[in-house]
Amino acid sequence: MASKTLIFGGDFTLGKEPETYMKGVNDLLDGADFRIFQLEEPFLDTLVEGAPPERLTKTLDCVVGKVDLVTLSGNHFYDYGEPGVNDTIAWCERSGIAHAGGGANAEIAKQPAFIEKDGVRIGVLAYNCVGSKKVFASADRGGAAGLNFTRGFVPCSMLDQVHTRLERDVWELKAPQHIDEDCMGFNFTDVEAVLAFAEDVRRARTQCDVLLVYFHKGYVHRPVTVAPWERLLSHIAIDNGADAVMGSHSHIAHGVEMYKGKAIYHGLNNFVMYVPQLSPNFKGQVHGGKDSNNAEWVKRRVERFGFVPDPEYPTYPFHPESVYCPVAKLILEDGAVKSYRMVLMKVERDGVPYVHGQGPVGQEIFDYMQRITTEAGLNGRLSWVGDEVEIHSAD
């Protein structure tokens, strides 16, 4: 059986002049056997209140034939309610594009999607791990496949405790407890949801040659940090049959890890992103139909994320380090993963991501990816193979 290549990109959305922003990735897409990315926003056949004209599904015409499967488990999937969910899925289906991680209800949203070529069958499961919970599909409402979590509040005086489980766990309390001090809110992994997820992975494993699990996860705009729960969920995915784990959401790259010989791409950052409405210099309307207030927006963004977007990147207003965008690439032989790799991209001031191999810019991206991997305490080690980067373990 001849070798095959699979690429998996991070967050993707288009707007005005969509062909312009695709020009840096067209050759990459055209040269792969299997093409997958995370569709970051819903699109509409008919505009609803608050949706800009470029949110029409016709904006995506230029990607038809260039992508085989999209994940839909992003935190924006319910931005336009049921019309956005339904129209996005309908566009996928009439365009011949498989989709995972979103659906008309929770049961459908959590189903795996499959693509096949020359007898090699790829399965994909996709989940939202970050919320907000309004985006999670339910039994009678569409949305993203949610990997549920529980919001808990811990008194500030107890934040330094060594053990988070107390003698009397919260579910054993028979009456509300009054706490007369400030609390910090945390999202705790829902054990029942994780057990159900593990069963989803085991079930999908029997239906394909190569199984990928995608998580919408990660600290937004924060360099380096990979939370322990991200690693735990990724390990559980591999323990139950996944051949690789992909992640995006944070709009900045995060490091890579090898676990039991399988790769975990903790943060693929952005694949192609056109979001001028997030720029401090944007004039017009933002989501919801309200006039933008950029002075207030800049203040909130600095307070929350600690940076102001570079005004020289008007359509790509992210963290300065967000210009480095890895794309996962798998080399498949005889229906199995032979090599885990990355293709390296850098976004320039025109907002277009450009692929770089060995050379000054490629080495700049390579060094960045190795640094953030090492600083996060991950065991991934990188080496050049031609103009691609291979991932192996330091262990």
Whether residue 292 lies inside any domain: the answer is no
Task: Give the residue, 180 or 41, on which the prediction is more confident.
Answer: 41
Residues 45 and 123 in one domain: yes
Q: What CATH number is attached to the domain comprising 97? A: 3.60.21.10
Contact indicator for 10, 325 with CB cutoff of 8 Å:
yes
Per-residue confidence at 166, pLDDT binned at 50, 70, 90? very low
Residue 292 has pLDDT above 80, yes or no: no
Task: Give the residue, 380 or 289, on which the prediction is more confident.
Answer: 380
Domain hosting 163: range is 151-186
Task: For residues 93 and 235, give the distance between their C-alpha atoms in angstroms, rounded to a whole number.
Answer: 32
Phi/psi at 37 (5° precision) = -155, 170
Give whole-number Cα distances, 144 to 105, 111, 127, in Å. 8, 11, 7
pTM of the model: 0.94
The per-residue pLDDT of the chain, averaged, comes to: 93
Question: 223-241 b/e with 16+ CB inside 10 Å = b?
Answer: bbbbbeebbebbbbbbebb
Residues 53 and 158 in one domain: no
> β-strand 183-189 against 113-117: which pairing, if any?
unpaired
Provide the pLDDT for residue 168.
Answer: 45
Task: For residues 38 and 387, give the distance between their C-alpha atoms in angstroms, rounded to a whole number.
Answer: 24
What are the residue ranges of helices labelled H in 48-139? 81-94, 106-109
Provide the pLDDT for residue 184.
Answer: 87
Residues 42 and 170 in one domain: no
Task: For residues 241 and 211, give the distance between their C-alpha atoms in angstroms, rounded to a whole number.
Answer: 7
326-336 pLDDT per residue, tens: 999 999 999 99
Q: What is the DSSP string of 338-386?
A: EEEEEEEEEE-TTS-EEEE-SSHHHHHHHHHHHHHHHHTT--EEEEEET
Percent of the chain beyond pLDDT 70? 92
Residues 234 and 175 in one domain: no
Whether residue 303 lies inside any domain: the answer is no
Provide the pLDDT for residue 167.
Answer: 46
Residues 319 and 335 in one domain: yes
Provide the pLDDT for residue 180.
Answer: 87
Percent of the chain beyond pLDDT 90? 79
